[in-house]
A and B are shown apart, each in its own frame.
Chain A
Amino acid sequence: MERKNILIFWFLFTSFLGLILIYIAAINLQPINIGISQITSELIGRMVLTSGKISQKTPNPSGHLFLVISDDKSSIQVPIFVSLMNDLKKNNVTENDFKVNKQISVNGLVGEYKGQLQIVPRKVSDIKLK
């Protein structure tokens, strides 16, 4: 076999091997389970799982839903963007299901918007209403 073809097969193999290992790591990676008050700017860019009760709910004309969830000590913003809201609707979860004082657990990426920390859920299973 020509040297170039061997190299192509070798790099094809290593690319797939790397992708498989990354995929296995990604599906087995658990988010950090943490209280709202423990979420700090050091966790920006990390995936966390937290829970609390909905203390504020602000629907947006574009279809987004902005929540504030709180525990005894602290609170954090949870924006649910329109694409996720649409996915939730397909799973029979509508804006009306997000009632103030209702318990919720959120899995999402910690981010910052206008100086405020937030958790951004990305898929339906990231939100669990209790």
Chain B
Amino acid sequence: MLLEILLFSIFGICVGCITGLIPGLHINTLIPLIMGMTFLFASPYYLTVFIVSLTVTWIFISYIPSIFLGAPQEDTSLAVLPGHRLLLEGRGYEAIKLTIIGGMGSLIVTLILISIFSSSFSYFYDMLKPYIQYVIAIVVLFMIFSEKKLKKILFAAFIILLSGFFGIITLGSSMVPSDNIFFPILTGMFGLSTIIISMNEKSKIPTQKEDSNLQVSKVNLLKSILLGSVAGTLIGFLPSIGVSQAATIVSYLGRIGETRSFLATLSGIRVSHEVVSLLSLYFIQTPRSGASIAIQKVLPELTFYDVLLMIGVICFASGIAVLMTMFLGKRIPKFLAKLNYKYLSLTVIIFMLIMVFLMTGVYGLLIVFTSTSIGLLCANLGIKRSHCMGVLLIPSILFFSGLNGVVLSVLGI
């Protein structure tokens, strides 16, 4: 059985490497495809091992298209801007290394946190649940008042409300299946808008420096890992609050304004969130991610030993995924640097639009047109692009305060 588990884990890592490199392809899009091929797996344990390995590998590898091509996922959307900034400074490889260190550090801290607090998770979960809308509302206020000048505060409030309205009508209608709805939204707001702006500024991807020196202090890195782990663990149990919202809260509360620390924190939150989401099946009997929903289907009653198996696979897959990310992170930019940035950007834009069309149809193209416009408007107003996250935050506030139905009724959707 051990050999089979290893083989399926390696199989998951390989698939994770390939799919992680495809811009815009989210793990939640892949999982239903895999669940349609369960006949390939002789035992539910093999399928579980495959899904866990694939998910963990995908998390690390997916930073490569996010940073080098500006192609975001729901969870990496906030990484696109700082990652792209470092790329244009010739520090794309450092950006990848930061995500690896943040992610691996957070994995270790999260496993320690889980072993200490596992018995209290259920209590925390029940305690925090009724107050989520207030937490999100505070985050929104933090975001608005993080701008320094009155004019920019007003612009920030406007963009959050505009994005929020956009989120209410797109998430509230069934124009695009809910599984894929974030793809056109985030691709436009954070991906296409970034590429369009940088196309006007740069004619090619600058040569990337390969030195291993991280231009961030060890204290800041440690702080990022710890904050990322705690935030990721908390949101792993809470509904609706995702990686992006947690990163926004942490970056304000933890005063993580610096690009490098932010990348490490974001990666830490992602890894921690996914690990806790997988293990939440055991601790609170509730799945919190696409992968954990799939595992719940194949292994409805998780035992303590199943959890140990999953932790073992997470550690094994993370180790290999990190090596693969470093290997690919060094080679891919060398290849990209030889290309004309404008042509490359145009190719990526066309590729993303084709992906949006294939996954979400004509309505997806309309959504991506609008989200790109909002992203470009935000950039030209000179305020932080993270205000566009109003697209998730405002609908979440309405949902948790029980006002979603009323607002949809008023809008006639």
**Contact surface of A with B, Cβ cutoff 8 Å:** 4, 7-8, 11-12, 14-15, 17-19, 21-23, 25-27, 29, 31, 44-47, 82-84, 86-87, 109, 112, 114-115, 122-125
Q: How far is the CB of B402 from chain A (nearest CB, A)?
A: 3
Residues facing A in B156-200 (CB within 8 A) are: 162, 165-166, 169-170, 172-175, 177-181
With contact pairs A7-B380, A22-B166, A86-B402 given, residues A44 and B177 touching in the complex (Cβ less than 8 Å)? yes
B366 A45 Cβ-Cβ under 8 A: no
By a CB distance below 8 angstroms, the chain A residues around B179 are: 44-45
Does residue B408 face the partner (Cβ distance < 8 Å to A)? yes
Does residue B370 face the partner (Cβ distance < 8 Å to A)? yes
A18 B297 Cβ-Cβ under 8 A: no
By a CB distance below 8 angstroms, the chain A residues around B411 are: 23, 26-27
B404 A83 Cβ-Cβ under 8 A: yes
B373 A83 Cβ-Cβ under 8 A: no
A125 and B405 CA atoms in complex are apart in Å by 9
Does residue B374 face the partner (Cβ distance < 8 Å to A)? yes
Does residue B296 face the partner (Cβ distance < 8 Å to A)? yes
A29 B175 Cβ-Cβ under 8 A: yes
A45 B402 Cβ-Cβ under 8 A: no
A109 and B402 CA atoms in complex are apart in Å by 17
A89 and B275 CA atoms in complex are apart in Å by 40
What are the interface flags for B382-413 relative to A under an 8 Å C-beta threshold, 1 for contact and 0 otherwise?
00000000000000000000111110110111
Most chain A Cβ neighbours within 10 Å, of B180, B181, B377, B402: B377
A22 B406 Cβ-Cβ under 8 A: no
A27 and B169 CA atoms in complex are apart in Å by 9
B405 A46 Cβ-Cβ under 8 A: no
Instruction: Select A19's contact among B173, B181, B370, B408, beta carbons within 8 Å.
Output: B370
A123 B369 Cβ-Cβ under 8 A: no
